[in-house]
Chains A and B, each alone.
Chain A
Amino acid sequence: MVKRLVVGAHYGFRDWLAQRVTAVVMAVYTVYMLVRVACLPAYDNTAWRDLMAGGFTKYVTFLFALALFYHAWVGVRDIWMDYIKPISVRLTLHVITLLALAGYAGWVAQILWRL
């Protein structure tokens, strides 16, 4: 038996799991919204706006957005780690990715809750 001591912040497993949990959240939301859109009374901007202005829709759409941003963070970070070797460039790209995603979260909240 090999006893291995794994050191570090243990974020590997946590992010591996988060990637899958957020994926399931987004998949359920996608199917739910496709059904809601298919059941719209008309295909115009009023119907679209009424759908998105619903309290439950706003809530789940925001959850979808948060799941998406976490999912994107893990995925894009993996890509930087795979291809970008110089540590300073990699760190810069990590920071830019995080800042972009954090800003997007605020932007989506503003779009939804001004409705």
Chain B
Amino acid sequence: MAEATVRKVRPKYLNLIQIRLPLPGIVSILHRVSGVGLFLALGGLIWLLGASLGSAEQLAAFRAVLAFSVLGLPVVKLVVLGLVWAYLHHFCAGIRFLFLDMHKGIELETARKTAVAVLAVSLSLTVVLGVLTW
């Protein structure tokens, strides 16, 4: 019983610049970041949905908001594209987590490969959707 209370002093690295996350860790924190982003944008996204299905004036407002740009940069469209990435990443990483819950793909090699697949698939689908809808 005595040795159970002895604790090894372990180094703590809480400096965010020093922390080196493994690939599955990057997928995990991006899952959280994308979830927060989507939650914060929810009001704006519902407004866009409503305006796209609303009266003629609302539809005009929808188009004006999407076309809004600063110094020739279509900032709203870029933010929406960022949210498309957030949705796709959250979707792909979420499916990966569901498989991990069922103890599928928990071996280190497989877990690394599926983490890369999540990053690659969500980024390339973002590019495809961006090109198709721009």
Contact = CB atoms under 8 A, between A and B. Distances in A.
Interface of A: 20, 23-24, 27, 30, 45, 48-49, 52, 72, 75-76, 79, 100, 104, 107-108, 110-111, 115
Contacts of A108: 46, 49
Interface residues of B, number: 19
Contacts of A23: 94, 98
A79 to B, nearest CB: 7
Interface of B: 32, 35-36, 38-39, 42-43, 46, 49-50, 52-54, 59, 91, 94-95, 98, 101
A27 B95 contact: yes
Q: 9 smallest A-B Cβ distances: which pairs?
A: A111-B50, A75-B35, A72-B39, A23-B94, A76-B39, A107-B46, A52-B53, A104-B46, A49-B53
B3 to A, nearest CB: 19
Contacts of A72: 35, 38-39, 42
Given A72-B42, A107-B46, A111-B46, A45 B91 contact: no
Given A20-B101, A45-B59, A107 B50 contact: yes
Contacts of B101: 20
A27 B94 contact: yes
Nearest to B31: A75
A39 B38 CA distance: 27
Contacts of A20: 98, 101
A98 to B, nearest CB: 12
B133 to A, nearest CB: 9
A99 B14 CA distance: 34
Nearest to B98: A20
Contacts of B54: 111
Given A76-B36, A107-B46, 7 more contacts: A20-B98, A72-B35, A72-B38, A107-B50, A111-B49, A111-B53, A111-B54
